[in-house]
Structures are given as C-alpha cells and as structure tokens.
Amino acid sequence: MKSSEHVVIQDYRIQPEDREKALGQRGQVLWFTGLSGSGKSTLANEVETALHRQGKHTFLLDGDNLRHGLNGDLGFSEAARTENIRRVAEVANLMANAGLIVLTAFVSPFEADRKKARDIIGVPRFIEIFVDCPLAVCESRDVKGLYAKARQGLIPDFTGISSPFEAPTHPTLHVHTYQMDLAACRNLILDHLA
C-alpha cells in the first residue's frame, strides 16, 4: 500500500488478552462429557443462561449447531467422531481466544479425544465436567429413542451399548445428575467459576 500521512496502527495484532479486557472476563471452555441422556445439554443450557444473566458473554456448542453445519460432512464412525471432537475443540479454542466462555456438550467418550481437546485449549482454560448418570437411568429415559434403536442394532457403535464410555479419571468437576437436582448441579459449576 502507499505510504500515508494518517496514523496507521499496522503490525499490531489484537491479542486474546485485549479481547478479555474489553469483555471483562476470561476466555474459558466448559467441556461437558457424559452418556447420551445424562443431562449434558440441559445442564449446559442452564449454566449458560445463568452466566448470561450475570452479564457474562457465552456460547454453547452442541450437536444442534455443529452437526448440520461445520461437522455436517462427518458420519459416526470412530474416526469421524474423533474428528468431530477435534473440530469442536479447535472452534472452542478460537472462541475462548475471542474472550468468550464456551460451553461444549458432546458425549466425547474417549479419553484420548478429551486429552487432545485439553491440549488444544490449554490448561487451566479447559474445565472438564463429567456429567455422571448411570447407564440404566439414561436408557430408561431414552428421550430421543436412541437407546432402543441401539439395542435393536440399528445404530452401530452407540456409546454405552456397543461402544465404551471411558469415564474421566480426573475431571475438574464431577456432577452426579441422578443424585442432585438441576439447580444444585448448576450451582456447583457456577461456584467453581466464581
């Protein structure tokens, strides 16, 4: 470009810290992991709404906004699920760099995938929340009818039925959604953030 008499601010790039300062908060990722039907999305929505009411700036990544968009090209094979989680982690990392408090609600059953997510996002920004509910309870709810289909063999590699859920060994937070009510689960997370 031609030289200019105007003040030009070139060569300075806005940094994550600048964005956090402008937003008055730290970029973070609340990574909800647990079986289908364990209450991940319900709890993540509840936490997001509470944070929003506190004036925090948030974003929720889940199947609703990723499976038909960014990850619409991915199936449900083990490789595709690993790639799904990798992309979720990369997007969550970018959004945390933008200063947002990001909530992700995906089964993310494999320890290696969650470790990769943690590596991408970085400790201590990565907050792993194990949404723990017994399989029998998740299956008895079966809100989406997925467990019934999985039992009939209509869904291959379904977590808890035909594919393992590798429970987090050292989650940041361990929430027992079967034993605690929703408000208590939410408050446990909010207390940790505060």
Q: Does residue 10 bind its own copies (CB under 8 A)? A: yes
| Residue (of 167, 163, 168) closest to 76 by Cα position | 163
Helix 111-121 to helix 78-97 angle (10° resolution) is 20
- Binder among 35, 120, 129, 161 for its own copies (CB under 8 A): 120
Instruction: Name the DSSP letter for residue 13.
Output: -
| Residue (of 138, 137, 133, 130) closest to 188 by Cα position | 130
Q: Does residue 3 bind its own copies (CB under 8 A)? A: yes
Site for its own copies in 18-77 (CB under 8 A): 18-19, 22-23, 39, 42, 45-46, 48-50, 52, 55, 57-61, 65, 69-70, 73
| Residue among 38, 41, 108, 140 flagged as catalytic | 108
112 or 154, CB closer to its own copies? 112
| Residue (of 25, 22, 18, 27) closest to 94 by Cα position | 27
Stretch that binds its own copies, among 1-9, 105-113, 145-153, 155-163 (CB under 8 A): 1-9
| Residue (of 64, 53, 81) closest to 166 by Cα position | 81
User: Look-up: residue for tokens 């619409």?
Assistant: 72
Point out which residues bind its own copies (CB under 8 A): 1-4, 6-14, 18-19, 22-23, 39, 42, 45-46, 48-50, 52, 55, 57-61, 65, 69-70, 73, 83, 87, 90-91, 93-95, 97-100, 120, 177-185
